Amino acid sequence: MDLQINNKVVLVTGGANGIGAAIVRLAAEEGAIPVIVDRDIEATETLQASLRNMGRKTCAIALDLSSPDNCAKAVRETLGLCGRLDALVNNAGGNDRVGLEQGSPSEFVASLERNLLHCYNMAHYALPALKQSRGAIVNIGSKTAFTGQTGTSGYVSAKGALHALTREWAADLLEYGIRVNAVVPAEVLTTGYQRWLNTFPDPEGKMQSILNRIPLGRRMTTPDEIAAMVVFLISGRAGHITGQQVFVDGGYVHLDRALIHQERT
């Protein structure tokens, strides 16, 4: 299937590692020009070099998006390097475990800054270019905003707001032909996730307890599976899809919990 994204410029925040890197790689494989925006300079340069060695077009901007000025700079440098912008993927962020008891008011605000505010800033500064290209925005959400998790008020608040903004922006940008959707992961095995598992006394046991709660295949979602949905949603093949929250989670959120206990035959 031709996804109709050849030479489209796709800016991916947090694009050097994990889900972001998978999105970058797949976009490049499909002929797009991914722009890696990430504060991890080494990982950014390594991924860019790897893609270029494979003959893929890509650009890289090593930048921390914690300030509005840097978000504006990321968009400005993308336009300077590539001349246009066709899609924005708001992926940067991470579960920082700022909870109601364990955190503080200032830590809560900092969590929102790390996981939410840059998404608004990036969309705000990217909007003029996206209007010109009649482009697309994909926000990477989280199942925690729908299920709760405990001990992570900041991250859950940020992702809940991002899901709300997905619908708001989709409505707001209809007249410009800009589509806005969210992809909602649950349990995705990245290096960061593995580091979290390793904090438990029995990482393998913890992993098994998680796998037992995933109905489809009793396995983790892969970063590549998240990337596949993201790249589809920014593509011309998804031309009439907007305002949606697409769960790529093996049925984790919506399937009956009783399925967890059923024997496989």
155 catalytic? Reply is yes
Give residue 203's Cα distance to chain centre.
25
Which residues, 6 or more positions from 103, have their beta carbon under 8 angstroms from its beta carbon? Answer: 111, 153, 154
CA distances from 60 to 16, 31, 50, 135, 165 (A): 9, 16, 12, 20, 27
E-only strand ranges, 170-211: 179-185
Are residues 145 and 115 in contact, defined by beta-carbon separation less than 8 angstroms?
Answer: no
**Rounded Cα–Cα distance for residues 234 and 232 (Å):** 6
Q: Active-site residue among 155, 176, 193, 252?
A: 155
β-strands 136-140, 87-90: how paired? parallel
CA distances from 176 to 146, 207, 245 (A): 30, 45, 20
Say how far apart CA 85 and CA 133 lie, in whole Å: 7
- Rounded to 10 degrees, the C-alpha dihedral 161/147/137/125 comes to 30
> Counting Cβ atoms within 10 Å, is residue 83 exposed (0-12), middle (13-18) or buried (19+)?
exposed
92 within 8 A of 71, measured Cβ to Cβ: no
* Residues noted as catalytic: 155
